[in-house]
Amino acid sequence: MQEAFININDIPTKVVTFGRWITEKPEKGEKVILIIPGNPGITGFYKEFMKYLYDKHKCPVWAISYAGHEQPTCASVEIPMYKEVGLQEQIQHKVSFIEKYIPENSNLHVIGHSIGSYITLQLLKRTSIEKRIIQAYLLFPTIEHMKKTPNGKFMYRYIRPIVSIVIFLAFIFTILPKVISLGLLKTYMKLTDTPSKDTDVIFSLIRPDILKQVFFLAFEELDQVCDRDDENIRKNLKRICILYGETDGWCNHEFYENIKQDHPDISVEMSNYQHAFIFKENEEVANHIGLWMK
């Protein structure tokens, strides 16, 4: 595994790879698996998932962070000042990465998780990108009417009004002695049955500057992700595979039923996996993708 920050559209961007690094010479027609995270777009959550994919497929497996969701700590890395990065800018951020680092003759398999599924569908509309993509896998996809889902309603009604308070509490968290802040986090994770393997990743997330980006993007998602892009799905029907979750609060069960009805030939399945599968179900979801991957 290799990981480093690179510059994409003047924003430090974390990239994690299993297999070759992004600047190493590729083989002609090489299969590459690219993971576009959900929100928060932090690569650390996906490392175990990537390892399972790499062990199974023996090809480069890459994950790219969302712009502004991971920040370098090394003093030698210059961090530019930038505003909150919205949904359309996040899409362009991924376009720029693919255009620069994934050759046109690659066999690109894109795995989008949650809002990463929406971004993946947008990539299929970009002429410079879609010709590289062999298959697109949409995991627990937030691709329609996010504001109408149970989690969307909760975010909009109850979280949006207190975002400034949450960010202030994150600031307090960052100025506490690390032994105290880490102890508080570990206690919370134990109470919520969150795996300890993700402690460092979650700890890095609890920063005012990061949370501002996460919330800004989240509320843009609620406002912008409305009608399902049926024309795009119909055009790319043979390339798209979709996995829903039975108890997913971000994807109503009716979304699964509707897409099956409207696109009878699409590869779509319902599962018992959690929306946040990256905590406990990495192997199971990686194996599920393996059944689809050509």
Query: What are the residues whose beta carbons fall under 8 Å from the beta carbon of 158, sequence distance 6 or more?
Result: none
Q: Please count the other Cβ atoms lying within 10 Å of the Cβ belonging to residue 150.
A: 12
* Two structure tokens written together for 270: 């319902």
pLDDT of 76 reads 45
pLDDT single digits (tens) 48-80: 999 999 999 999 999 999 999 999 875 444 555
pTM beyond cutoff 0.75 = yes
Residue with tokens 């300890």: 196
Bridge partner residues of 14 (DSSP) = 5
SS3 at position 89: helix
The b-or-e profile of 84-117 (16+ CB within 10 A means b, else e) is: ebbbebbbbbbbebbeebbeeebebbbbbbbbbb
Report cis status (omega within 30 of 0) of the bond before 40: yes
The set of catalytic residues is: 114, 248, 275
pLDDT single digits (tens) 171-183: 999 999 999 999 9
* Residue 47 CA from chain centroid, whole number: 12
| CA separation, residue 292 to residues 26, 37, 134, 251 (Å) | 24, 19, 12, 21
Q: How confident is the model at residue 28 (pLDDT cuts 50, 70, 90)?
A: confident
pLDDT of 80 reads 54
**DSSP tally for the chain: helices H, then strands E:** 12, 8
Backbone angles phi, psi at 164, to 5 degrees: -60, -35
pLDDT of 252 reads 87
Q: What is the CA radius of gyration of the chain?
A: 19
SS3 at position 35: strand
DSSP string, 168-203: HHHHHHHHS-HHHHHHHHHHHHHHTT--GGGHHHHH
Average per-residue pLDDT in the chain? 95
Sign of CA dihedral 211, 216, 222, 227: negative
Are 156 and 146 spatial neighbours (Cβ–Cβ below 8 Å)?
no
pLDDT of 145 reads 97
CA atoms within 13 A on the CB side of 161: 4
Distance of alpha carbon 87 from alpha carbon 225, whole angstroms: 10
* Two structure tokens written together for 200: 């460092």
Residue with tokens 């929306």: 275
Query: What are the residues whose beta carbons fall under 8 Å from the beta carbon of 161, sequence distance 6 or more?
Result: none
pLDDT single digits (tens) 189-232: 999 999 999 999 999 999 999 999 999 999 999 999 999 999 99
Domains of the chain as residue ranges with CATH: 2-145+226-292 (3.40.50.1820)
Distance of alpha carbon 112 from alpha carbon 37, whole angstroms: 6
